[in-house]
Structure 1
Amino acid sequence: MTIRESKRLWLACGVGLGWFLLLLWPLLGIKPDTLEFAATFKVFGYVAVAAVFIMFFYQVKEAGYLDAVGRPAKQATNALGRAYDKAPTWLLLGIVLAAAIVYPLVTGRYAHDVAISVLIYVCLGLGLNIVIGLAGLLDLGYIAFYGVGAYTYAILSINYGLSFWLCLPIAAVIAAIAGCIIGYPTLRMRGDYLAIVTLGFGEIVRLILNNWMSLTNGPNGILSIPRPELFGYEFRSLSSMYYIILGLAVVTILAVYRLNYSRIGRAWEAIREDETAAELMGVNTFLLKLLAYAMGATFAGFAGAFFAARMKFVGPESFTFLESAMVLAMVILGGMGSIPGVILGVLALVALPELFREFELYRMLVFGGAMTLMMLVRPAGIWPAKRVGRRSEEAD
């Protein structure tokens, strides 16, 4: 590394620390009755020391002084990677599934609650992954289908006494129909225009839920939604509810995987890469984009019905644009088009913040910084999807 490059890196580090101080002081230093500096500079000191240490370590590594240590570590990493590639897929998936089944038996109530939230967002993330990751359609109102599924189960169970298991496919079908209704007039648009229109439709659904008093009870929501029952057994505990959403998540993963590697999945990828070329090759782009919306909405409907059963209450405030943005962030952070990537994105945005709940004052600040750093270091996501085939410009 040259002296000029070293100076440039240290200058960037100094500017970044300056911006961090400007953001940190209003959070810690501005009090209702006075201005404080001690707490701000204490936290800033820890961060500055860590940043300087990381920069120093990076420059030593780039200079080659750590090759004697790094070479064996790299060889060990490569050996682990080769062992992972050689291991049968069914064995790895069996280990993961076995760990997921045993999980409630060795953890407490709080861990069950977090795991249920993770699995709900896995269903939502994989559904949105069909729309964004496979078909390449930017949808900012996806959470509306989640709300449709939740209200469908709530209304059918309260007003008509239908069971959860009967309402589950009905909620999925109605959410898919809602996806077709929203998608039909919007999918002739592309890019930013499509994103704006889907955002508008998402807000329309939320306002309908908020104002249709006779059907949805408006902002008061629907209370006393029954829990699922099976052969007389009522799923009351969080651990029993965990197994229901685990089953729904496994079904969602298998369905999305099969769709991904089917002819329909290949057609979606062709539309994502170049819609005009796909249409010239005979792909019915409009019908397949509508199908992508419907399939994504189906899995959101599943998740919504379970959400209503778990919470025993649904209200319009649970289906705001912020929820759509969170699910979109999970898909992009994990890797668009990648099933393992979406799962890792959900873990990063749902499970990791819970681990740092003790640092409630700082965790969202650290979380935002980590997200920014991740997008700079790995813009394709934590686990990007493998492209089938190779482009000519990539070979160059």
Structure 2
Amino acid sequence: MEKQNTMPASALSDARDAPPGRRAPLSALAVLVLLALPFLTDSQFYVHLAVLVCLNVVVVSGLSMLIRVGQLSLCHGAFMGVGAYVSVLLSMKLGVPFLPATAAGVLAAALLAWLLGSAILRLRGVYFVLITFAFGELVRLGLLEAADLTGGANGIANIPPASLFGFVLDTKPAFYCVAAPLAALSILFLWALFRTPRGHALDAVGQNPALAEASGLSVQDHQLFAFVAGSAMAGLAGAFLARYVGYVSPESFNAQVSIAAIIMLVVGGRHSVLGPLVGALIMTPLPELFRGAVQSQNIFYGITLILILKFLPQGIAGLFSSRRRGGQT
């Protein structure tokens, strides 16, 4: 008897609880605030933080897709590095304009994710996490060893600013005007994706892989889609971050970058479209509060994770959606 390529009613019902169709006004308001933020302050420092928040939203949005299908990656930072280095090297070595160079960086990250994911997505749990950690370290060590090309531990400095359609993004407000739409599009992409049959299937795979497989869904194919798409978004953020900061090094994309993205997602909400935005808004400014006190920062991160997982397992954005659902019953 052939499998039906349909989702069971229970899985489909559970999956539809996660997409934020009823939260469209809140999502739209958050996006509008994000876009208007640089016009609400004259402080260059706050605009700088806003740029970092926007780029983190792109990174964490990509990671959230993989979390939704039940996998956890510790090499997300490595894909940021791939996007950054490919984009920068093409521009500085071959004179490729910013947009084509960035597109090449995104494609390189996606291709590498496809190759890696095709090989390891059959693994589950801690085995998958350990392989992604090892891969991230392999990318970092490869960048260190290829010193003639990448600058090794010294990295690449004096990276020219991004240029779009003749406009040079050489100031913080100018760069923000591009970073904010990127973050908004990332949120809107998640919002749209998880309202589609593909998004419902991704949620079903994450909630009960065995049931999804028995219903005719290919767990590995859907996880591969999430892994590749999320890694491409990480590569995009890495390419823009390199142009914004003007410097890249292998240590800019180590495992701590991946862990920071995971913390942002957990704090914001793993199953909420607004989770990446909420997590980035809360966690991105914290290093400035702990400047010169790295150990205190790590302790604070650890305590925050414990409290969130204990009392708000769905994250802060999940708390708001739960209250709204409670008010509707």
> Which TM class, normalised by the smaller chain length?
0.7 to 0.9
Task: Give the deviation of 1:145 after TM superposition.
Answer: 0.6
Query: What does residue 122 of structure 1 align with?
Result: 57
Give the TM-score normalised by the residue count of structure 2. 0.83
Distance of 1:344 and 1:233 partners within structure 2? 30
Closer/same/farther in 2, CA of residues 367 and 204 from structure 1, 3 Å limit: closer
Closer/same/farther in 2, CA of residues 195 and 111 from structure 1, 3 Å limit: same
| Identity across the alignment (%) | 31
What letter corresponds to residue 240 of structure 2 in structure 1?
F
What letter corresponds to residue 292 of structure 1 in structure 2?
A
The higher-RCO structure (CA 8 Å, 6+ apart) is 2
Report the structure number with the largest CA radius of gyration: 1
Please give the per-residue CA displacement for 1:348-379, whole angstroms capped at 9, x wherever unaligned: 2112554x458969963555434433332212
Structural mapping, 1:315-394, within 5 Å = 315-352=249-286, 354=288, 356=289, 364=297, 365-366=299-300, 368-384=302-318
Please give the per-residue CA displacement for 1:99-144, whole angstroms capped at 9, x wherever unaligned: 3333223231110111111111111111000001x21111111111
The answer on 1:159 being equivalent to 2:120 is no
Task: Give the deviation of 1:220 after TM superposition.
Answer: 2.1
Query: What does residue 166 of structure 2 align with?
Result: 232
Distance of 2:93 and 2:200 partners within structure 1? 42
Structural mapping, 1:275-314, within 5 Å = 275-314=209-248
Distance of 1:318 and 1:358 partners within structure 2? 17
What letter corresponds to residue 226 of structure 1 in structure 2?
P
Closer/same/farther in 2, CA of residues 183 and 119 from structure 1, 3 Å limit: same
The answer on 1:258 being equivalent to 2:185 is no
| Matched-pair contact (CA < 8 Å) for 2:271–2:314 | no
| Matched-pair contact (CA < 8 Å) for 1:121–1:346 | yes
RMSD: 2.5
Distance of 1:153 and 1:275 partners within structure 2? 36
Query: What does residue 43 of structure 1 align with?
Result: none
Match of 1:336, SS? coil
Pairing partner for 1:271 from 205, 217, 233: 205
Task: Give the deviation of 1:208 after TM superposition.
Answer: 1.0
Query: What does residue 173 of structure 1 align with?
Result: 107
| Matched-pair contact (CA < 8 Å) for 1:248–1:302 | no
Task: Give the deviation of 1:330 after TM superposition.
Answer: 1.1
Corresponding residue pairs, total = 299
Closer/same/farther in 2, CA of residues 359 and 142 from structure 1, 3 Å limit: closer
Distance of 1:217 and 1:168 partners within structure 2? 20
Distance of 1:219 and 1:156 partners within structure 2? 19
Distance of 2:23 and 2:314 partners within structure 1? 26
Match of 1:382, SS? helix
| Matched-pair contact (CA < 8 Å) for 2:35–2:181 | no
| Matched-pair contact (CA < 8 Å) for 2:187–2:274 | no
| Matched-pair contact (CA < 8 Å) for 1:353–1:367 | no
Query: What does residue 146 of structure 1 align with?
Result: 80
Closer/same/farther in 2, CA of residues 358 and 165 from structure 1, 3 Å limit: closer
Closer/same/farther in 2, CA of residues 347 and 234 from structure 1, 3 Å limit: same
Distance of 1:207 and 1:169 partners within structure 2? 24
Distance of 2:241 and 2:193 partners within structure 1? 25
Closer/same/farther in 2, CA of residues 223 and 242 from structure 1, 3 Å limit: same
Distance of 1:358 and 1:151 partners within structure 2? 27
What letter corresponds to residue 273 of structure 2 in structure 1?
I
Query: Which runs of no fewer than 5 residues in structure 2 stay unpaired?
Result: 1-21, 323-329
Task: Give the deviation of 1:304 after TM superposition.
Answer: 0.6
Give the TM-score normalised by the residue count of structure 1. 0.70
Please give the per-residue CA displacement for 1:1-53, whole angstroms capped at 9, x wherever unaligned: xxxxxxxxxxxxxxxxxxxxxxxxxxxxxxxxxxxxxxxxxxxxxxxxxxxxx
Match of 2:120, SS? coil
Task: Give the deviation of 1:95 after TM superposition.
Answer: 4.3
Query: Which runs of no fewer than 5 residues in structure 1 stay unpaired?
Result: 1-86, 388-396
